[in-house]
Amino acid sequence: MNKTEKMFQYKQGNTLPFGVTKVADGVQFAVSIPKGEECYLNIYRTGQKRPSCRIRLSKEYRRGSVYFVKLTDCPGTDEEHTVAEVLSREYEYMYEVDGKEFVDPYAAVIHGRERWGKRGRTDIRGGISLESFDWQDDSPLNIPFSDMILYQLHVRGFTKHVSSKVAHRGSFDGLREKIPYLKDLGINAVLLLPCYEFDEIRSQKKAHGEPAKPAVRAAGQAVADKSQPVSKRKPVEQEKLNYWGYGQSETYYCAPKAAYAADPHDAGVEFKTLVRSLHQAGIEVLMDIYFMPGTNVCLMEDCLRRWVLEYHVDGFRVNQEVMPSQLLVSDPILSGVKLLTDYWNRELVAGAGDNGMLAEYNEGFMNCARRYLKSDEGQVESFAGLFRRGSSEMTPINFMTHVNGFTMMDLVSYDVKHNDENGESNQDGTEYNYSWNCGVEGKSRKKYIMSRRMCQIRNAFAMMLLAQGTPMLLAGDEFGNSQEGNNNPYCQDNEITWLDWRMTGNRTEIREYVRKLIAFRKEHPVLHQGRELYMFDSLSCGMPDVSVHGTQAWRVDFSYYSRMLAVLLYGDYQQKPDGTADDSIYIIFNMYWESKSFDLPNLPGEREWYPAVETYGNTFSTIPQPKRRKRCHKKPSLESQKKTIVPPRSIVVFVGR
C-alpha cells in the first residue's frame, strides 16, 4: 500500500485520561457522553469543511459513559512520521451527538481563536498537541509561601504597549523577555490572570433582545480627547471584549490561550518554554482559574492535574464556591501544589494545611490597610491583628491592590471610581474603594499633592511588604501605573489596561523604593516567619516574638480615635542563613496628620536602634553590621530607651543591633 492509499485505522481504547493521548500503538481519543443515540468522532484536516474520517462511537467503544477510540494509522504516516506527529501537525477533531458537533472539553488546542478579538473562521475545533518537549530537568522550586513575593499580571496587558520593547508584544514570549526585570525587582512568583482558552468576544445584546449599551474602545484605540477629564469623555461604540477572562461561556480550561502566543499555532510549546524559563530564573508560576458554575467536577480536577503534570504549573487560585475544597486538598497531585482560595473551611480541610501549600486570597487585609492608610477612625486594632497574622497552615495573601479595583497610583489619586468608558454609565465596579486623592481628584502637577501621593504609595507598599504572610504586588504598581480612575476595567483592552513601560523611567523613585523594600524583607526572616506569632515569650528570653505599642512603648492605643501604632518583631525568634539570630525590627505607623513622638523600647545587652526606612523622606539608611551574638536570656528593661519624632502620615522602620 502506497502513501496515498493509506487509510485511518482504529480500534477500541481502554485507558484514561480523557482527551487525546499518545499511547504505545497509536493515539487514543477518550470522551464522556452520558446520553446520545448517534455519536461520532469526526477527524478533519485542519481548515477543511468535511471530515476526513468519521468514526461511529458504537457500544463496543463504550465503558460506562466514556468512549475510547485508538487510532493506529492515518494518511501521512511513514517510517519517519508517527501517527501522533501527523495528527498534531495536520488534523483537528470534533465529537458529534445526534447531529450536533461539540468541542472536546479536554482539548489541548483550540483552532479558530488564534486572533485576539477576531474570528478567523466561523467555527472552532479541537486541535491535537502530542509533541514532546525538552524540560531540561525542570523540577518544582517549592518556594515556601513565607518567602514568596507574588506578582499578579495579565499576560497580554503586561507587554502589549509599544513601550515594552519586546519582540512579541502581548504574548507568553513577551512575558519571558521581561524575566530579567522581574528578577531585578525581587519577584520570585507570578500569578497569571486567566491564560487558558476563553472567548474574549462578548455578546452586545441584552437578555430580552434590548439594544446594548454603548460599548468600549476597540483594542489599541487611543483614549478620546485626553485633554478632557475622564468623567466627561464619551465612550466609543465598539465591540466589548472580556479582557480579564473571568465568567465567560465556551471556556476550554485545558488549552493555553492561542491569542496569547507569538505563534498561535504553537501556544502549548510557548507556554511550556515560558514556565521553564521562569523556573530557571527562580520564579514560580501560579495560574488564576475561574470555573464557571456548573462545571463538571471531574473536568475541574483533571484540568488542574494537567496544568501541573503537562505544563509544570506550581499552583492555582481557584473559586472554591464551584471547585470543592475537599477535592482540592485530597487529590494526590493537587495537594502537593500551592492552592489559593478566598477562604478555607478549617473543619472541612482539617490537617490538609500541614504541608504548607494552602493560602487565603481575600480582601480583608486590603480593605483594613486602605482605611488605615487614609486615616479612618477605628482601624488600629484590626490592622495590628492583620499585620502580624501569620500561619504555617493557611498563609494569608496580603495585597493593597489587585486586578479588580484601583491601581496603587489611582488609590491615592481618586476618591471615587471613573468607569465612564466601560459603557455602563459608571454603574459597574465597587463603590467601596477606601481611597483618598490627597486633595485633588485625578492627575495633578502640584508638587505638594504629588509629594503626598508618593508618600502614601510608599506607606502602602510598606504595610504590605513588612507584614507577615505573603505579599502580592499588582503589575505596574511599582512604577505608578494608572487606569485613569477605572476600578473595573474588565472590558478595556487598550492603554487603560496595558502597562506603559515609559513610566519605569518617569517613576524611578517608586520602583527603586519597592526593590529596596523587597530586599529588606528578604534580608530579615522576622518579617516573614511563616508561622503563627503568639505574642508571648516562648524562648524565655524576656521578650515576646511580637508585641504592639503606641506612642508609649508597651502601651498600645486601640481607642476609636487612635491612628498610631508600633510593632516590635524580636530578632531572636528567627535565624539568618549563617545561623546568627536576626535583628529586631521596630515598625512605627503614624497615620495621623501631624507629627507624633514615639518611644523606642529598650533592647537587651548593648544592642541599639538604627533607623532603616523612612517613608516621608524616602530614605533607606545604611546600618552597621552586627556582632555575632547568642540568643538572649537576659530580661530587658521595659522602660523607654529614647524617643523619635515620626512625620505625619508616614512609617519609620528601625533595626535593632
Per-residue pLDDT tens digits for 437-495:
999 999 999 999 999 999 999 999 999 999 999 999 999 999 999 999 999 999 999 99
Least reliable range by pLDDT among 221-235, 327-341, 514-528, 566-580: 221-235
- Residue 208, domain member (yes or no): no
Residues 184 and 261 in one domain: yes
Domain span holding position 253: 148-200+243-525
Residue 36 has what pLDDT? 84
114-154 pLDDT, tens digit each: 999 987 777 899 999 998 999 999 999 999 999 999 999 99
Residues 624 and 556 in one domain: yes
Residue 639: count of CB within 10 angstroms of its CB: 10
Of the residues 492, 525, 558, the one at which a domain ends: 525
- Residue 426, domain member (yes or no): yes
- Residue 360, domain member (yes or no): yes
Residues 16 and 161 in one domain: no
Mean pLDDT of the chain: 90
Average pLDDT score over residue span 562-587: 95
Q: Which of 549, 545, 554, 553 is nearest to 572 (CA)?
A: 545
The strand pair at 284-289 and 315-318 is best described as: parallel
Residue 639 has what pLDDT? 38
CATH assignment of the domain containing 618: 2.60.40.1180
Residue 203 has what pLDDT? 58
pLDDT range class, residue 5, cuts 50, 70, 90: low
Average pLDDT score over residue span 70-89: 92
Q: Does 634 have pLDDT greater than 80?
A: no
Residue 80 has what pLDDT? 85
- Count how many domains the chain has: 3
Residue 238 has what pLDDT? 53
Residues 259 and 370 in one domain: yes
CATH assignment of the domain containing 12: 2.60.40.10
- Residue 369, domain member (yes or no): yes
Cβ burial, residue 11 (10 Å; 0-12/13-18/19+)? middle
Least reliable range by pLDDT among 109-113, 116-120, 301-305: 116-120
413-432 pLDDT, tens digit each: 999 999 999 999 999 999 99
- What residues have CB less than 8 Å from 596, skipping those under 6 apart? 551, 564, 590, 645, 646, 648
Average pLDDT score over residue span 602-609: 87
352-386 pLDDT, tens digit each: 878 889 999 999 999 999 999 999 999 999 999 99
Residue 520: count of CB within 10 angstroms of its CB: 20
Residues 374 and 518 in one domain: yes
Of the residues 525, 546, 565, the one at which a domain ends: 525
- Residue 605, domain member (yes or no): yes
Q: Does 517 have pLDDT greater than 80?
A: yes
Q: Does 226 have pLDDT greater than 60?
A: no
Average pLDDT score over residue span 575-592: 95
Residues 51 and 162 in one domain: no
User: Looking at beta carbons, which pairs linking 43-46 to residues 24 or more positions away fall under 8 Å?
Assistant: 43/8, 43/71, 43/74, 43/87, 43/91, 43/92, 43/93, 44/91, 44/92, 44/93, 44/94, 44/125, 45/90, 45/91, 45/92, 46/90, 46/91, 46/92, 46/111, 46/127
181-469-473 Cα angle (round to 5): 30
Residue 587 has what pLDDT? 98
Residue 211 has what pLDDT? 38
pLDDT range class, residue 622, cuts 50, 70, 90: confident
Average pLDDT score over residue span 548-564: 96
Residues 451 and 305 in one domain: yes
pLDDT range class, residue 626, cuts 50, 70, 90: low
Of the residues 476, 496, 525, the one at which a domain ends: 525
Residues 447 and 519 in one domain: yes
Q: How far is the C-alpha of 419 from the C-alpha of 217, rounded, in Å? A: 13
- Residue 51, domain member (yes or no): yes
- Residue 564, domain member (yes or no): yes
Residue 206 has what pLDDT? 38
Residues 50 and 79 in one domain: yes
Residues 516 and 452 in one domain: yes
> What share of the chain in percent tops pLDDT 70?
91
Residue 657 has what pLDDT? 86
35-67 pLDDT, tens digit each: 888 999 999 999 899 999 999 999 999 999 999
Residues 356 and 413 in one domain: yes
Q: Which of 317, 405, 319 is nearest to 369 (CA)?
A: 405
> In this structure, what is the dihedral angle of CA atoms 440, 443, 444, 449, given to the nearest 10 degrees?
50
Residues 289 and 430 in one domain: yes
- Which string of b and e fits 30-67 if b means at least 16 CB within 10 Å? bbeeeeeeebbbbbbeeeeeebebebebeeebeeeeeb
pTM comes to 0.92
150-196 pLDDT, tens digit each: 999 999 999 999 999 999 999 999 999 999 999 999 999 999 999 99
CATH assignment of the domain containing 177: 3.20.20.80
